[in-house]
Chain A
Amino acid sequence: MAAQWFIWGWLAAVAIVFISAAAWLHPRMPERYVHVHVWLLLLPGAAAAAGWIGAGNAEAGPWRFDAVSWLVAVYISLLSWAIQRFAVRYLHGDRAYRRYFSLLTWTVSAASLTWASGDMRLVAVCWGLPLMGLVALTALKKEWRPAQFVARQMAVVFSLSWLAVVIAAVWLGTAAGEWQLASALSAERLARLDAWEKAVMNGLLILAAIIPAGQWPFHRWLMESAVTPTPVSAVMHAGLVNAGGLLLWRFSPLFHETWAHVALFLIAFASILIGTGISLVHVDYKRQLVGSTMAQMGVMLVQCALGAYGAAVVHLVLHGLFKATLFLQSGSVVPRVGRAGLRKTGSSWPGGIILGVLLGWAFWQAAPHEPARLLSALLLGASAAVAWGRLADFREGRWMGLAAVAVLAFGSETVRHQFLTLLGQGEATVFVPPAAFEWTVGVLFAMAALTAAWLANRRTSALAVRVYMHLVHLGEPRPAAMEAHPRYLASYLKEGMAHE
């Protein structure tokens, strides 16, 4: 019974935040209230943390919490606080200053409600709200043509995603005769569904998931999303793109067929290649970050495809912190005059590959049965090799630097491991595809890396040029999504800079 109170407490905290966001819109509210509002955003996070510790798994009405829901609630609250805190100064002076805070609050709170709901109808409704919030945030610069264009495009694809979730949820609910997510997805009820029904539902859910994750072939909206102000981009890349991973985790019992996993993997793998490629060929920083997000969301979905939902959730949380920071810091990437230069050495420091292989192998051996461990081991080995290679770039402080990198990496791995352990409890029933699949995935990744290295050495070959130009094209906005000069500012001037 006590567990329920934690849920009601959390909902009350969310309600307070909603009310604060609405009240702040009132012009009578003094500007300094924004500080109060932003600190209130931590309230749901605190309530969720208390719930996580105090209640663990809990249910109340249509709401249902487990470790992942609590974690997501804490994460969303913290992130929303940090980003809005940033926006207090960063967006100051904007015409839509107040509306940004209200909409940001609305968007992220709706997102956290989605993952707290145990009722499919509620999930279906909540799924679309943050997406539409994002559309509204993008459209806030209403005088700027590209922003309007992009907002319209986003509205269209997001509606498609919403529709897919609604259909899947209603179908599942009626077919299973049960709206509670946990019961509807219980083995015995799922057994009542026809194979084709499950297949179509799988397809719908995958479709719903890959759209907000900006996966190929729905990457356009993501590529064109650089029109939003930095804090909105941060929320987008740290929060909303992750929704797909959580959706698949919520419905994971439905994914019992290898083919669905293979299909998901293929889409995600293609997106990783394209996203990475885009971030490599493009030169505007926010576009590089956008490309990287596409690839990282691919990683999250590959982890889902490998049945490693826990790893996917940890990935999306850490990626969120990573990407939010890089976006918020995107003003810092201009090189500075008078800084000491880097040594330009052609030589390489041997042994990176050996170190990488050893470390990767050791990492894999530590827990060979953990899903997606092989993939992580491969990536870790590559990282170690790259870090080792930096020894050639420096002279004096390199060993100290390498030690620092090792310490930092070890710290991060500990955090990741702790997260996984915390989440691991509720996660016994998921379907894990056969080991051969994981090996195939690993080999494909390794081959992709080898191909990339091969192309890197033959940049002027006809093939490399074709790949290059295609990657550029895939990452480019459509003409309507850009404008040579932001004309709306001229109209601001003309309308009169009021002297209030």
Chain B
Amino acid sequence: MSKSAMPLERLTGESKPTGAEARPLAMLVSEAAKAVAPLWPISAFIARHPWMGLEEQTFADAADRLQQAHGIDLYPPMAVFHAAMAKGEIDLVFVERRLQRWLDNKPLPVRRQEAERMCRALLWNETVPNEALRLPELAELAHAAAWRPAAVRTAGAALHGVSQRLDQQTVKWCKLFYGSNTAPWALPHCELGFYGAWRRLIAADPALSKEERKRLADWPHDGEEALRQALMKLGVQEEETAAYLEAHLLALPGWAGMVVWQSRRTGDELRGLIDYLAVRLSLEWTLVAPYLPLEREDHADIGAALSLLAAWLHWGGMTLEDWRNLSGKEQRAWLAFIDRFWRIDRCHLWLEAWEDTYEAKLKEAVLAHQPMDETKKAAAQLLFCIDVRSEPFRRHLEAAGPFETYGCAGFFGLPIQTRALDSDDAHPSCPAIVAPQHEINETAALEAARPYRRRRDAFRFVGQTFKKIKQHMLAGLLLPEMSGPWLGLHTFARSAAPAWAGRVVRQAEAAAEHKPKTDLSLHRHGKDESSGLPIGFTTEEQVQYVKQLLVNIGLTSSFAPLVVVCGHESETANNPYASALDCGACGGAAGAFNARVFAALANLPEVRAGLAAEGINIPDETVFVAAEHITTVDEVRWLDVPPLPAAAEAAFRQLKQALGEASRRANAERMAKLPHVGQTPRDPVAEAQRRAVDWSEIRPEWGLARNAAFLIGRRKLTKGKDLNGRVFLHSYDWREDPTGEALAGIIAGPATVGQWINLQYYASTVAPHYYGSGDKTTQTVTGGIGVMQGNGSDLLAGLPWQSVAASDRELFHAPLRLLVIIEAPSYYIEQLLDRNEEFRRKVQNGWLRLASIDPDSGAWVNWEAGRLASVQQR
């Protein structure tokens, strides 16, 4: 039996040695939980990839397992590959090359030539032609050879109707509990925890029949106990338990992910999951109890065997006679071989060929020789986020004047939690994988803030009154009369002139929320009570954070008189996914705060002095200015502009002028990619402005769709080259990093953020219903924490369909795994792989791909599995 065809061994328990009985429930739960990823609330959307717990397996194996056990596809269907091929995005040469390499490396049950013929047929065909299936003896033979055990199925799933009801009930309890802070009448007994509240309320739930409620009358009051009892009563075998629990978690992975996130915050992740599973399995038992014990299903899948056998006969050049002559073991091995190839490996080859085609094009673009003369001194240097949307803007900006741009993660290396003026909640403004170390508060003098507060609160008073009246039994009934005329006016205005009315509304909001000049608590003073984090930085920390970033991006000398620190933010109207378009490195929010903090730090005299002591001399006339790149309209908005000396002032004016031109060109490029009703509009800037404020716009911008690569290296490599907005660009100069520490930091932080974003888009594209969040037009925002579809569904985790597809008939995003390219000598890469086990695993198991560019020879090195193995031997 082929090894790779039996990834389910662990799950089915058939070949599992006994002796695992003593495993505590908590351990089984945590094993099952690897298949789900935490889900952050939608208000600060974190692009996270759904398989973070599965990186120990190869991508293909994880795909195989999820597909067999839960019917989830990790590869796009063939139709998507064919469409890509038609567009010239897949070169058949690479398909062939990948196939050959695959055949070379895999143990084959048959002769190479036969295997090749078979695989080539399977590569192109979805089903066996009907006439091949019509042979009379086929069924009987298939039955004899059927080998594949059925996956572990939950009791509820085995009974039609029960699973639907179980999902509906689970969704109901989850939304009521986890969304309780937005309901005017919240779930009673919330303080008892999820299971506790459920246990108290279930006796009064009319959704269950009297019988069903009676069954739960003396059910345990403790979640763990209840879970144990439910497993026992459902007759789940000890060795199947983990798989059984996993199947339950994957039934609604979004809600399970929300449970993980919520309980992680309270510090007890397992407790939350146990509660969740206890509720779900208790309900399951109540619903299926009358049907227990369930008959064990026939453990073989005959349908699959039938078509596999037919495939051998049809394409493999076999006769029935040949087949009968094989031993049972051989028959099973033959079937298992093409089974796995057909379901998984061929898709993997197609995917790799697609990726190779892209890589070849990128390589060509990057390695193309170009006349560069770097003698001209830059008037201004701008730091942009690595975000793929920065690339076109940087390109156009550089073309418009003597400006240098750099790329770094948009949190500017500051592990901070931010508290905006008068805000109750602190926001972790750094990547989700980084724990905040400092808290920075925004404050304003009482006098200065008074007009702001008055204005803001007057506006909010109206909003709050509306909300409270809506929630009042009597007052709410008159609300249409009280607000209808005004809301109607608003609707008609927005319909008549979407751009104009949208802008008016946006300006009114901005005016109401317009803050006075505020200060940031940069200097260490005390601790925040709730989080325990120190407020501000010590001078040493200030110096180190600034130094670290400058070294990382290779900007340690020849400073221009003006250095612009550019965060980014999107601007969209009526868009529940607004934060998905914001800065992922800033915890799914605008990057303005971090930009302000960094610019302010870099301007501090004591920081300058500290940097000088470390060998980084920033001239006195150089000024750091904070700004924000508005990605939806490709504009730069200035945040904090301190008084500028003459040289900086001149550069500032020059830059401002060039920005207009850059913005126009970048928008023209953007409009060519966005779908339009009718023709492409003539004025790209006006169209972009409209999209930003139009409340009916379903695709305000493409966000990070089509991202495909992450380049770590000097801008010299890519300057002036059109990378199509598909590449994350992180500036890095290996010569400034003799120890390789900076590179390790970039890989651990920004590159991981890039990988998460990449796989988020990937998952939302290949399984838009399961890992994406479905069609935006039928979503309903739930509890302020996420969205559901229609009348209720899983809490949908990923990006909406409209973020990855141009229409119901055309994908926009190309689901490719991230290609990380590092410009550094090979021994840097080896060292990196050596030291960073986690990164190495990602590369080795295909969760991202790695290439490097040798700075001296300019050679492109591909770090695929074979090469990695040689590093391991070192």
By beta carbon, the residue of chain B nearest A321 is B488
Give the docked Cα–Cα distance between A14 and B776 (Å). 32
Q: Say if the beta carbon of B83 comes within 8 Å of chain A.
A: yes
Closest chain A residue to B418, Cβ basis:
A338
Q: Which residues of B contact A462 (CB under 8 A)?
A: 204
Tell me whether B807 and A92 are in contact (CB under 8 A). Answer: yes
Q: Is the Cβ of A484 less than 8 Å from the Cβ of B252?
A: yes
Report if A443 contacts B (CB, 8 A).
no
| Residues 168-186 (chain B) with a chain A CB within 8 angstroms | 168, 171-172, 175-176, 179-180, 182-186
Q: How far is the CA of A276 from the CA of B205 in the complex (A)?
A: 19
Q: Are A396 and B781 in contact, CB atoms less than 8 angstroms apart?
A: no
| Contact A32:B678 (CB < 8 A) given known A284-B781, A486-B775, A497-B810 | yes
Can you report 9 A-B residue pairs in the complex whose CB atoms are below 8 A from each other? A226-B791, A280-B183, A284-B783, A321-B488, A340-B456, A342-B424, A401-B458, A468-B185, A472-B172
Q: B805 and A401: CB pair below 8 A?
A: no
Q: Is the CB of B461 within 8 A of A465?
A: no
Say yes or no for B459: interface residue by CB 8 A criterion: yes
- Asked if A395 and B457 sit within 8 Å, CB to CB, the answer is yes
Q: Are A482 and B171 in contact (CB under 8 A)?
A: yes
Knowing A449-B473, A493-B80 are in contact, say whether A336-B204 is a contact too (CB < 8 A).
no
- When distances are taken between beta carbons in the complex, the residues of chain B under 8 Å from A61 are none
- A351 CB to closest chain B CB, in angstroms? 16
CB-based contact B808/A93 at 8 Å: yes
> Which residues of chain B are within 8 angstroms of A31 by Cβ–Cβ distance?
677-678
Contact at A341–B461, with CB atoms within 8 Å?
no
Q: How far is the CA of A409 from the CA of B44 in the complex (A)?
A: 35
The number of inter-chain residue pairs (CB within 8 angstroms) is 440
Knowing A227-B791, A285-B782, A383-B475 touch, does A85 contact B696 (C-beta < 8 A)? yes
> Interface readout for A472-484 with B: 1 if CB under 8 Å, 0 if not?
1100111111111
Q: Determine if A192 is an interface residue (Cβ-Cβ < 8 Å).
A: no
Inter-subunit contact A284/B175 (CB<8 Å): yes
Q: How far is the CA of A493 from the CA of B763 in the complex (A)?
A: 13
B768 touching A490 by the CB < 8 A rule?
A: yes
A334 and B578 contacting across the interface, CB-CB below 8 Å: yes
Cα A453 to Cα B807 in complex, Å, equals 49
Within 8 A of A (CB), among B447-477: 450, 453-462, 464-465, 468-477
Contact, CB under 8 Å: A285 / B780: yes
Which of A199-207, A247-255, A256-264, A323-331 is the interface stretch? Answer: A323-331
User: Which of chain B's residues have a CB closer than 8 A to the CB of A390?
Assistant: 461, 464-465, 468
12 additional A-B pairs beyond A90-B696, A95-B809, A315-B480, beta carbons within 8 Å, are A229-B778, A284-B781, A323-B480, A337-B44, A337-B588, A382-B472, A386-B469, A397-B456, A416-B485, A459-B188, A483-B793, A493-B766
Q: Answer yes or no: B593 CB below 8 A from chain A CBs.
A: yes
Contact A497 B811 (CB under 8 A): yes
Residues of A within 8 A of B589 (CB): 337-338
CB-based contact B83/A322 at 8 Å: no
B91: chain A residues within 8 A (beta carbon): none
Q: Which of A46-54, A154-162, A292-300 has 4 or more CB atoms under 8 Å from chain B?
A: A292-300
B contacts, CB < 8 Å to A: 42-44, 73, 76-77, 79-80, 82-83, 86-87, 161, 164-165, 167-168, 171-172, 175-176, 179-180, 182-189, 200-201, 204-207, 251-252, 418, 420-425, 427, 450, 453-462, 464-465, 468-488, 490-492, 495, 498, 513, 573-576, 578-579, 588-590, 593, 675, 677-679, 694-699, 766-770, 772, 774-778, 780-784, 788-794, 796, 801-802, 805-811
Contact of B696 among A88, A324, A445 (CB under 8 A): A88
Contact B481 A412 (CB under 8 A): yes
With both beta carbons as reference points, the residue of chain A lying nearest to B463 in the complex is identified as: A401
> In this assembly, does A147 line the interface, its C-beta being within 8 Å of a C-beta of chain B?
yes
- Within 8 Å by CB of A412, from B477, B483, B679, lies B483
> Which chain B positions have C-beta within 8 A of A387?
465, 468-469
A35 at the interface (CB under 8 A from B): yes
**A228 in the interface (beta carbon within 8 A):** yes
Stretch at the interface among A64-72, A110-118, A177-185, A372-380: A372-380
* B189 pairs with A460, CB closer than 8 A: yes
Give the top 9 A-B pairs by smallest Cβ distance, nearest first.
A401-B461, A32-B678, A341-B424, A318-B484, A321-B488, A93-B807, A397-B458, A283-B179, A496-B79
Which one, A141, A231, A382, A497, contacts B80 given CB within 8 A? A497
A404 touching B462 in the complex, CB below 8 Å, given contacts A325-B487, A465-B188? yes
With a cutoff of 8 Å between Cβ atoms, the chain A residues found around residue B793 in the complex are 482-486
Question: Are A276 and B476 in contact (CB-based, < 8 A)?
Answer: yes
Q: Do A334 and B696 touch across chains, with their CB atoms under 8 A apart?
A: no
- Cβ–Cβ contact B479 & A322, under 8 A: yes
Whether A284 pairs with B420 at a CB distance below 8 angstroms is no
Whole-angstrom CA separation of A337 from B711 in the bound complex: 30
Of B485, B588, B695, B810, which is in contact with the most chain A CB atoms at under 10 Å from its CB? B485
Residue pair B483, A338 in contact (C-beta under 8 Å):
no
Our pick among B83, B694, B699, B808 for the contact of A499 (Cβ within 8 Å) is B83
**B182, B462, B678: the one within 8 Å of A401 (CB):** B462
A400–B472 CA distance with the chains assembled, in angstroms: 23
Q: Are A287 and B780 in contact (CB under 8 A)?
A: yes
Q: Majority SS of interface residues in chain A?
A: helix
Is A482 touching B791 in the complex (CB atoms < 8 A)? Answer: yes
CA of A394 to CA of B456, assembled, Å: 10
Q: A337 to chain B: closest CB distance in Å? A: 4
Is A188 part of the binding interface, using a Cβ–Cβ cutoff of 8 Å? no
Task: Give the residues from 209 to 258 in chain A that come closer than 8 angstroms, CB to CB, to chain B.
Answer: 223-224, 226-231
A197 CB contacts on chain B under 8 angstroms: none
For B485, what are the chain A residues with a Cβ–Cβ distance below 8 Å? Answer: 318, 321, 411-412, 415-416
> CB-CB < 8 A to A88: which residues of B?
677, 696
Is A167's CB within 8 Å of the partner chain B?
A: no
CA distance A32 to B79 in the complex (A): 29
A396→B454 contact, CB < 8 A: yes
Q: Which residue of A lies closest to B491 (CB)?
A: A325
Neighbouring B residues of A94 by C-beta, 8 Å:
775, 777, 807-808
Give per-residue flags for A73-112: 1 if the beta carbon is below 8 A from chain B beta carbons, else 0.
0000010011001111111111100000000000000000
- A386 touching B168, Cβ below 8 Å: no
A94 to chain B, nearest CB (A): 6
Query: Is A28 at the interface (CB under 8 A from chain B)?
Result: no
Q: How far is the CA of A340 from the CA of B441 in the complex (A)?
A: 12
* Choice from A340, A341, A416, A456 contacting B481 with Cβ under 8 Å: A416
Is there an interface contact between B422 and A89, defined as CB atoms closer than 8 Å?
A: no
Nearest Cβ distance between residue B509 and chain A, in whole angstroms?
A: 11
Q: Are B188 and A89 in contact (CB under 8 A)?
A: no
Query: A27 interface residue, CB < 8 Å from B?
Result: no
Q: Is the CB of B454 within 8 A of A400?
A: yes
* A488-500 vs B, Cβ < 8 Å mask (1 yes, 0 no): 1110111111111
Interface membership of A466, Cβ < 8 A: yes
Q: Which of A283, A332, A415 contacts B782 (CB 8 A)?
A: A283
| Closest chain A residue to B86, Cβ basis | A499
Q: How far is the CA of A31 from the CA of B807 in the complex (A)?
A: 14
| Chain B residues whose C-beta falls within 8 Å of the C-beta of A189 in the assembled complex | none
Q: Are A224 and B791 in contact (CB under 8 A)?
A: yes
**A464 lies within 8 A of chain B by Cβ:** yes
User: CB-CB < 8 A to B772: which residues of A?
Assistant: 489
Q: 8 Å CB contacts to B: which residues of A349-404?
A: 376, 378-380, 382-383, 385-387, 389-390, 393-398, 400-402, 404
Q: A469 at the A/B interface (Cβ < 8 Å)? A: yes
Residues of A within 8 A of B484 (CB): 317-322, 412
Q: Which residues of A contact B171 (CB under 8 A)?
A: 482, 484
- Check B176–A472 contact: CB distance below 8 A: yes
Is there contact, CB below 8 Å, between A93 and B475?
A: no
A346 in contact (CB, < 8 A): no
Q: Is A281 an interface residue (CB 8 A)?
A: yes
Among B175, B418, B454, point to the contact of A397 (Cβ < 8 A): B454
How far apart sit A341 and B464, CA to CA, in the bound complex (Å)? Answer: 12
Minimum CB–CB distance from B823 to chain A (whole Å) comes to 35
- Are A146 and B791 within 8 A (Cβ)? yes
